[in-house]
Structure 1
Amino acid sequence: MSMNTPVRCSSWALSILLLTCLGMTAGCGGHAKSTRYYASAAGSNCYAKALPTTGEGGLAWGNTLGVARQKPLNNCTRYAGRSGGTPDTCKVVLAGCKE
């Protein structure tokens, strides 16, 4: 009977470990992923793209051209610093509205 005890304990430990791992991955599956750039939403007719001299910029959509120009500038200053660029040099390089 002493031979069955370690086997029984290890199977319980393995079962608990497996259930814990499954529970942790199931808990994270429902979280929404954050998007890096704004997607085109219904009613957003205007777009703009801002880029720094070095680093990452961004493209954004908005209901008006003014809103569309401000969003990528904010994104550009945020992401340019993270990507090794210069946030102070962000400029809107493309802007327009679809008809």
Structure 2
Amino acid sequence: MTHEMPANLDDQCVNVFAHVRALLAEAGGTLDDVLKLTVHLVDYRDRTALNREWERAFPDPAHRPARQVMAAVLDRGSLIHADLLAVLPAPS
């Protein structure tokens, strides 16, 4: 792992969703457990890359979580930041 930020929004969106999947898996959950995803974009009107990854992550429009996209000022080359709310299954 290089810890280097990709320069473009497409690759940063791929990274965000990869990290979301990994975080949920570590906590015992999946994308099915997400209730809401809040996304902060430097250019909040440029949603092409975000929508592409969103539709890959949540292919069924009838079962997508809520999503909010907001404008943000981010540092160190970040073009996207996301936080989520999920309800995880009880540990077995």
More helix by share: 1
TM-score normalised by structure 2 residue count: 0.29
TM-score normalised by structure 1 residue count: 0.27
More strand by share: 2
Higher relative contact order (CA 8 A, sep 6+): 2
Which has more radius of gyration?
1
